[in-house]
Amino acid sequence: MSLTISQKTNAAGFPKPSELIEITGAHQLEASDRAIQNMLFQHAHDSGRMTHADAEWEITFAEIRRPLSKHESNDRVRASLDKLMNIQVVVHYLSVRGEPRTMKTHLLEFTDTDDRDGDNATVVFGIPKKLRAALARSNRWGRVRCEITYAMTSKYAIALYELVCLRINLHTCIEVFTIERFRDLLGVPPNAYADGQDFRRKVVEPAVLEVNKMSDVHVDIELRRKHARAAIHEVAVAWRKQEGDEFRESMRERNRSKVGRKARLRGLVEAVEPGAFTLADAAGAAGVAVPRRGEGREAAVAE
């Protein structure tokens, strides 16, 4: 039996244990918190010291921050570290005897940080001993690419992407979840988006959009009702690997600026081809001066 901790990180991503992918109770974690969690757990996994009794790890703030933001402040990273250390999540795992158990735990045991910011500032962190022991017995994993989760702005997109990563190499390519289970796995807050249309518009559609436009997988979701006026009772999720132009376009989007990304993903922005008629051309034809860089201007993007 292959264990998750025996797997090596490669171009497809780091092997994230199913126990971490399918945690519940993580609805307070935002997209940036989840992305940082992945960076820290990959760092710990790659060290090969996950099972060491006194294991702790050190990483620079710059390594954590740079994929997230160009700002030099570490305030957002510190806030995420606090969340990962304080928020209690639920982890489902198998005991030494192979029996299913449920653990309530924090994702980080402690953090020890430099007081001053800077590229050399570091954070030392630990992962709870009981959690590490459970992860050491894991034999199911999904290969998660940190650069993909850092690019996403929807926490539901990250959760959905990871659920698909866990299942992408199975013989089946579709799974049906109860609505309650699906909400838990995506980290939807209790009682939030109880209306089916709100759930579709605020949770499902943004998640599917980001997964399909920025990851290396494609997903389709069907919300099922027993009749037209009934509440959603189950969710069917189908997936496949991206290929060809779809794969290349997703990779290009991840490398583009986050500015205007929402509009680009929704198809509200058209690329300007070389030699195309530009705003400056139009302004010149109308006798209107175009503001130079640094001068005031306003832009509106259709939602």
Least confident residue range of 18-22, 42-46, 145-149, 277-281:
277-281
- What pLDDT, on the 0 to 100 scale, is given for residue 280? 46
- What pLDDT, on the 0 to 100 scale, is given for residue 87? 96
Q: Residue type for 26, please?
A: A
CA–CA distance, 182 with 204 (Å, rounded to integer): 11
- What pLDDT, on the 0 to 100 scale, is given for residue 246? 96
Is residue 291's pLDDT more than 90? no
Q: How many residues are present in the chain?
A: 303
Is residue 249's pLDDT more than 60? yes
- What pLDDT, on the 0 to 100 scale, is given for residue 1? 66
Is residue 281's pLDDT more than 60? no
- Predicted confidence band at 276 (pLDDT cuts at 50, 70, 90)? very low
CA–CA distance, 266 with 302 (Å, rounded to integer): 10
Residues in CB range of 114: below 8 A, 6 or more apart: 61, 120, 121, 122, 123
Q: What is the DSSP letter of 7?
A: P
What tens digit of pLDDT does each residue of 36-80 get? 999 999 999 999 999 999 999 999 999 998 877 666 679 999 999
- What pLDDT, on the 0 to 100 scale, is given for residue 296? 42
| SS3 state of residue 152 | coil
Q: How many CB atoms lie within 10 A of CB 173?
A: 13
- Predicted confidence band at 301 (pLDDT cuts at 50, 70, 90)? very low
What tens digit of pLDDT does each residue of 93-117 get? 999 898 999 999 999 999 999 998 8
On average, the pLDDT of the chain sits at 89
Asked whether the beta carbons of 154 and 35 are under 8 A apart, the reply is no
Q: Per the structure block, which two tokens stand in for 259?
A: 């500015």
- Predicted confidence band at 217 (pLDDT cuts at 50, 70, 90)? very high
Q: Please state the domain extents for the chain.
A: 6-146, 152-268
CATH number given to 152-268: 1.10.10.10
